[in-house]
Each structure stands twice: as C-alpha cells, then as structure tokens.
Amino acid sequence: MFQDFATKSLIGRPAERPAADPAGQAAQLIERYPNLSEVELARLINLYRELSALDMALMISDQHLAPKLDRFFIDHRDQLRTPIRQYAALMAIAAIGITVVIWATLSGLM
C-alpha cells in the first residue's frame, strides 16, 4: 500500500564488490609490478607500510608473488624502510624507562 516507486530496482544489476583488504590490494598491485602507474605505485608503497607481519609472510611464501615483491622492495627500499628517527625515538623511550627503574630501585635502598 505504501510502496515507494522512486527507489531503484536491484534486479538485473551486478552486485557491488566490497573493497578488498589492504593485503589483497597490495597483492593485486604486486602481481602487476612493475607495470604500475605512478598513482598505483604510490598506493602500493602506502599499503606496504601498513601490512602486518603475517600478511608479509603469506606474500613472501607465494611463489608467484615473492620474486615481484623482492624486486619491488629492492627498487623502493629507501621509501619502505623505517626512518632512523623512529628507531632513535624508541631507544630514547627505552633509555628513559631504564633510568626510571634504576632511580626507583636506588631510592628504595636508601
């Protein structure tokens, strides 16, 4: 009785595919590497930085993807490595933590 005829019918339309997870997107781009546009290459670099260790292990173990992944990493190593300043920040936090523990221990002995 209260049917809305303005809505579009879904019959006969192809179903929309959900967006793939980052690992799936990265795998698709690595399959096509080095035949990527600049936009796709930038997307792959950003996806690579977000991949988990498990995703990386699965892609490395894939015999088809591994050679292309190695080539991608060699070609773009400077963009994929963690900057030294992030390691320095981690070391500074660890040093501060150790200093606090030593100070607390020595203060408790006095």
**Per residue in 6-26, pLDDT tens?**
555 555 544 444 446 888 899
Alpha helices per DSSP H over the chain: 22-32, 38-50, 53-61, 66-75, 77-80, 84-109
**What pTM, to 2 d.p., does this model score?**
0.57
pLDDT mean over 3-7 = 55
Structure tokens at 75: 């070609």
CA–CA dist 43, 23 (Å, integer)? 12
Question: Quick one: average pLDDT of 14-41?
Answer: 80
